[in-house]
Amino acid sequence: MLLEVQDISMVFGGLAALREVSFSLAEGEILGLIGPNGAGKTTLFNVITAFLTPTQGEVRLAGKPLTGLRTSRITERGICRTFQNIRLFDQMTVEENVMVGRHCRSRAGVWPSVLRTGAQQKEEGAIREKTRELLSLVGLTGHDRELAANLPYGLQRRLEIARALAGEPRLILLDEPVAGMNDQETAEIAALIKKILGFGITILLIEHDMSMVMKVCDRLVVLNFGEKIAEGTPQEIQSDPLVIEAYLGREEGE
Amino acid sequence: MFFEQLINGITLGSIYAIVALGYTLVFGVLDIINMAHGEIFMFGAFVGMLLISYFEAPVLLALGGAVLVTAAMGLLLERLALRPLRGKKGASHLASLISTIGVSIILENLAHHLFGAGNKPFPTSFADASFTVGSTTVYLVQVIILVIAVLLMVGLSLWLRKAKAGKALRATAENLETASLLGINTGRIIVSTVVVASAMGGIAGVLVGMAFNYVNNQMGLPMGLKGLAIIILGGMGSVNGAMAGGLILGLAETFVVAYGNSGYRDAIAFVAIIVILLIRPQGIFGQALPEAKR
Amino acid sequence: MINPYYLQIASFILINIILGLSIYITLSTGQLSLGNAGFMSIGAYTSALLTVKVGLPMVAGILAGSLLAFLIGILIGIPTLRLQGVYLAIATLGFGEVVRVLFINWESLTSGAVGIAGIPHLGRTMLAGLQERGFSSEQWGLKNNEFISLTIFIILLAITVLLLAFFSRLFASRVGRAFRAIRLDEKAAEAMGIHTTYYKILTFSMGALLAGFAGALFAHVTGYISPADFTYHRAVEILVFAVFGGSEVLWGPVFGALFLTVMPEMLRGMSEYRYFIYGTILVVMMVFRPQGVLDQPLLDRLRGRRGGGGDDAA
Ligand SMILES: Nc1ncnc2c1ncn2[C@@H]1O[C@H](COP(=O)(O)OP(=O)(O)OP(=O)(O)O)[C@@H](O)[C@H]1O
Ligand SMILES: [Mg+2]
């Protein structure tokens, strides 16, 4: 198993945002994490990436526990993420955003950078090359020099994916990558997700768009009020009475 | 000797606590460190000094005058240096810190031009009045300061707990956005917070003048620094922490001066900052909050 | 032709530029240090004492002063930088005051408020060294004091140019990108695998190093230092260089230090209101132009280019 989430609980003050959630992901798999608003999905991402320290439980990557590691170390081990509320470096260019994403896969420190050593120059060239590649993968070629803040919303989401991919993750966490997009844009992102899978990268996907989730995911985990209420293939989930109730019970359902 | 020092320490500590409460109120509601608070405190001291030495006003009137002037300064500070930054795109969390530093420098210079440099006497009619309890000498000034400080703290606590404004203030302190969703007029709360905090600084200024019998235009910075040290010690935004931290610092300083080296008195606050940051960064009464979600 | 008075002002401009850089580098990761006057005084006192009392050569004194400021920067930075930005501002403000109190009270070593005089002078030492080798100022058609001022200016200019080259390369690299990412969004930067604490301590201690270095140079250029040279006002002045000139581009603090050092010299009688003006600058800039006078779009326009940004000197 590439990722194992075991008995994770996260309590904020009196509110239990996650209660003993466990599941795991196999290498190369795409798992959908779904559930109504406030179910605890983003909180789980924050726990996996050490933005939050869980009240209880353990996360393991390829068998090794991540407990106590800071976010940057977890990124180095191969988990990169995007954010539900886009968190690009708005005052940097598109290109620079992706180059920053490459940070954990490059090493030049202060002196090589100032002296412009051969190794540093080579590395910097490689960073630019990789950046070009990724920008073309997500369809941002030609926007390199624009400020991230000036990109339209849909392209910002793509840029976040490119930036996460620049860290060469083994596992990528996508938090609602198609939120607010129309059908065509959604289909394009779905295709992009398939491509990413094709590179052998494992994906954990949070998404409210059910038709897309059903289409791209191998398996689903359903959270409700911080608890895992179901796990299975899209077909199994669709007919699970608990899941239906969780969504209908909240009326809007999406 | 010991009990006299104890009383000295408590008196000083209660003044520190009032200064620190000014910082804590503003930080609790606005998430801003008001770097000009020390200078507002200094202006309060000067207003009190002017009223007492030139107009021979009684202490209560001096306090009232200081409150009026410093409250008005708080109002201006909020209008000119804080409000324009609020919600402004691209303004980092440093912006308000820097603009209040600007205000503090302006005020310090203003005081220099208005009042001149050097110590100005702060004569109170009861400066030397004292009585003895057992073998301990207690000065009347100390009693007055303590009474005012305690009244002020109790009043503030009641206001925070009971009064409608206080309730709204606490809701705002919990979360500015939620408060405005609940229909609480956050703009007014913010103004009144800064005004109340500044007035408390002004009162503290008069009390310090009474305690030390002089004021000068350099007194803002060290006092401001102590207030800041106290809120780190007590926990940022915590009212109880400010009171406890103030007492701790007042006692620590008094005893170090009494039994150690007086030259390093002002260094104690800084040492306290570093120690507390190392062992309990959230402060004595602060809660370690989980990272804000995004 | 060579006017020692102008050269002296030019030298102070250069020292102020180094000081401006010292706060700029710390600000580049979104950290505000109010202790740079303290670090400056550590550099100045260390070098002054080592040269005056121990008799070390000037270069050794300057290096030791800078190094000590750097080490103390790390010590202060480690506990505070794990926390929110405001803690650093407060801790450094307190630090600066404590260092000053220490220098005032430690009379046996520092002569207290009186300060230290007779510090070996950069220009005169150079001249004396050259004279031993048979050089005299007249060979260049200069008077001794002209030669001294000119030497100081040239040395400081060379140092400043080197520092600017150093930082413009640094900011255009992976490390510089990490700095900017941290300033723009610390948490997101951490998620990119940037060890934010490491970089914050790095920039803070580099700022301390630079301030200590500038302080040591200051000691050997003026020949006399006292605690009054390193008050909180100095820290604010240093901050104003960056905030006014521009805190997001390398040329910002350079411009700020240049402009704000020349201005009071040109407008005589203004110096009385100097801090009044500094205070006003801080408030007005935060309200109307928080990034300072110079920013990347403006620089691009000045260079006659459009679009994009941050190719060099981030
Ligand atoms: N840092 C935090 N502090 C306090 N409460 C939090 C924090 N982060 C999340 N919560 C609470 O935890 C619960 C779960 O939130 P979370 O963001 O994980 O939901 P979600 O499943 O991602 O919802 P959505 O679909 O709306 O994004 C919510 O009630 C939220 O208010
Ligand atoms: Mg979410």
CB contact B294 to A (< 8 Å): yes
What backbone phi and psi angles, to 5 degrees, belong to A183?
-60, -40
Which tokens in the block code for residue C240?
């104003």
Q: What percent of chain B has pLDDT over 70?
A: 95
Instruction: In whole angstroms, give the CA distance from residue B13 to residue C43.
Output: 35
Q: What is the pLDDT of residue B36?
A: 95
Per-chain mean pLDDT for chain B: 85
Q: Kindly report, residue by residue over A50-79, the tens digit of the pLDDT.
A: 999 999 999 999 999 999 999 999 999 999
Chain B: closest CA distance from residue C280 (Å):
6
User: Could you tell me if the CB of A17 is within 6 A of ligand 1?
Assistant: yes
Q: What is the pLDDT of residue B164?
A: 73
Mean pLDDT of B249-278: 81
The ligand minimizing its distance to the Cα of A83 is: 2
Q: How many residues does chain B have?
A: 294
List chain B domain ranges: 16-226
- Residue B270 pLDDT greater than 60, yes or no: yes
Q: What is the pLDDT of residue B247?
A: 92
What CATH number should be reported for the domain holding residue C236? 1.10.3470
- Residue C128 pLDDT greater than 70, yes or no: yes
Q: What is the pLDDT of residue A18?
A: 96
* Biggest alpha carbon–alpha carbon distance for chain A: 64
- Of A82-86, C16-20, C75-79, minimum mean pLDDT range: C75-79
> Ligand 1: which atom is nearest the Cα of residue A223?
21
A172 CB contacts (<8 Å, ≥6 apart)?
A: A79, A80, A81, A82, A161, A164, A165, A196, A201, A202, A203, A204
Chain B: closest CA distance from residue A176 (Å):
13
Name every chain A residue with its beta carbon within 8 A of the beta carbon of B290: 12, 52-53
Match 């580098």 to its residue by tokens.
Answer: C25
Q: Kindly report, residue by residue over C192-240, the tens digit of the pLDDT.
A: 999 999 999 999 999 999 999 999 999 999 999 999 999 988 998 999 9
Residue contacts between A and C (CB atoms, under 8 Å): 102
Q: Kindly report, residue by residue over B212-256, the tens digit of the pLDDT.
A: 888 998 899 889 989 988 988 888 878 888 889 999 999 988 888
Q: What is the pLDDT of residue C313?
A: 41
CB contact C162 to A (< 8 Å): no
Closest Cα in chain B to A83: B294
Which stretches of B78-163 are DSSP H helices? 94-115, 140-161
Which tokens in the block code for residue C265?
């010299």
Name every chain B residue with its beta carbon within 8 A of the beta carbon of A148: none
Which CATH class, in words, describes the domain spanning A1-78+170-254?
A: alpha beta
Nearest CB partner across the interface for C279, out of B93, B106, B229? B106
Does B53 or A217 have the greater pLDDT score? A217
Name every chain A residue with its beta carbon within 8 A of the beta carbon of B90: 91
Categorise residue B287: left if φ over 0, alpha if ψ from -120 to 50, beta otherwise: beta
Q: Kindly report, residue by residue over C261-276, the tens digit of the pLDDT.
A: 988 777 767 777 888 8
CB contact B270 to C (< 8 Å): yes
User: Could you tell me if the CB of A37 is within 6 A of ligand 1?
Assistant: yes
CB contact A45 to C (< 8 Å): no
Mean pLDDT of C151-179: 96
Does C62 or C109 have the greater pLDDT score? C62
Q: What is the pLDDT of residue A14?
A: 83
Instruction: In whole angstroms, give the CA distance from residue A128 to residue C23.
Output: 30
Instruction: In whole angstroms, give the CA distance from residue A223 to residue A8.
Output: 12
Q: How many domains are there within chain C?
A: 1
For β-strands A202-206 and A30-34, DSSP reports them as parallel
Which tokens in the block code for residue A104?
């954990």
Q: Kindly report, residue by residue over B150-189, the tens digit of the pLDDT.
A: 998 888 888 887 777 777 777 777 777 777 777 778 888 8
The neighbour count for residue A248, using CB atoms within 10 Å, is 10
Mean pLDDT of A206-214: 92
Contact B293 A53 (CB under 8 A): no
Which among A10, A41, A82, A227 is the best mutation to test ligand 1's pocket, defined by most ligand atoms within 8 Å of the CB? A41
Q: Kindly report, residue by residue over B28-51, the tens digit of the pLDDT.
A: 888 889 999 999 999 999 999 999
C119 CB contacts (<8 Å, ≥6 apart)?
A: C47, C48, C51, C52, C219, C220, C222, C223, C224, C225
C196 CB contacts (<8 Å, ≥6 apart)?
A: A72, C29, C182, C186, C189, C190
Q: Kindly report, residue by residue over C70-117, the tens digit of the pLDDT.
A: 999 999 888 888 777 788 888 888 889 889 988 998 888 888 889 999
Which tokens in the block code for residue C241?
């260089």
Name every chain C residue with its beta carbon within 8 A of the beta carbon of B90: 290-291
Distance A81 CA to ligand 2 centre (A): 13
Mean pLDDT of A162-184: 95
Nearest CB partner across the interface for C192, out of A93, A101, A114? A101
Q: Kindly report, residue by residue over A118-167, the tens digit of the pLDDT.
A: 999 999 999 999 999 999 999 999 999 999 999 999 999 999 999 999 99
Q: Kindly report, residue by residue over C279-289, the tens digit of the pLDDT.
A: 999 999 989 99
CB contact C177 to A (< 8 Å): yes
Q: What is the pLDDT of residue A191?
A: 95
Q: Tell me the pTM.
A: 0.90
Distance A4 CA to ligand 1 centre (A): 21
Q: What is the pLDDT of residue B89?
A: 62
Buried/exposed B27-50: b ≥16 CB within 10 Å, e otherwise: bbbbebbbbbbbbbbbbbbbbbbb
The SS3 call for residue A23 is strand
Chain A: closest CA distance from residue C247 (Å):
14
Q: Give, in order, the Cα–Cα distances in Å from B190 to each of B43, B84, B98.
A: 22, 13, 19
Q: What is the DSSP letter of A26?
A: -
Q: What is the pLDDT of residue C309?
A: 44
Contact B106 C283 (CB under 8 A): yes
Closest CA to B85 of C286, A20, C257, C111: C286
> Ligand 1: which atom is nearest the Cα of residue A226?
14
Chain C: closest CA distance from residue B124 (Å):
30
Instruction: In whole angstroms, give the CA distance from residue B207 to residue B10.
Output: 13
Which chains neighbour A (Cβ–Cβ under 8 Å, 3 or more pairs)? B, C
Residue B288's pLDDT band (boundaries 50, 70, 90)?
low
Distance C305 CA to ligand 2 centre (A): 41
Q: Tell me the β-bridge partners of A3.
A: A25, A61
Closest CA to C249 of C200, C298, C314: C314
Name every chain A residue with its beta carbon within 8 A of the beta carbon of B291: 46, 51-52
Q: What percent of chain C has pLDDT over 70?
A: 96
Q: What is the pLDDT of residue B267?
A: 79
Q: What is the pLDDT of residue A248?
A: 67
User: Could you tell me if the CB of B294 is within 6 A of ligand 1?
Assistant: no
Mean pLDDT of A220-245: 91
Per-chain mean pLDDT for chain A: 93
- Of B20-34, B274-288, C84-98, minimum mean pLDDT range: B274-288
Q: What is the pLDDT of residue B287?
A: 64
The neighbour count for residue A48, using CB atoms within 10 Å, is 22
- Residue A240 pLDDT greater than 90, yes or no: no
Distance B272 CA to ligand 2 centre (A): 40
Q: Give, in order, the Cα–Cα distances in Å from B5 to each of B205, B250, C93.
A: 22, 10, 29
Distance A38 CA to ligand 1 centre (A): 5
Mean pLDDT of B72-88: 90
Does B166 or B193 have the greater pLDDT score? B193
Residue C311's pLDDT band (boundaries 50, 70, 90)?
very low
Helical axes B239-259 vs B140-161, angle rounded to 10°: 160
Mean pLDDT of A83-101: 95
Per-chain mean pLDDT for chain C: 90
Name every chain A residue with its beta carbon within 8 A of the beta carbon of C310: 92-93, 96
User: Do A75 and C193 form a contact (C-beta atoms < 8 A)?
Assistant: yes
Q: Which domain holds residue C279?
A: 4-313
Q: What is the DSSP letter of A147?
A: B
Q: What is the pLDDT of residue A250?
A: 56
CB contact B293 to A (< 8 Å): yes
Q: What is the pLDDT of residue A239?
A: 86
Residue B200's pLDDT band (boundaries 50, 70, 90)?
very high
Mean pLDDT of C154-172: 96
Chain C: closest CA distance from residue B209 (Å):
22
Q: What is the pLDDT of residue B291?
A: 41
Q: Tell me the β-bridge partners of A24.
A: A4
Which chains neighbour B (Cβ–Cβ under 8 Å, 3 or more pairs)? A, C
Contact C194 A167 (CB under 8 A): no
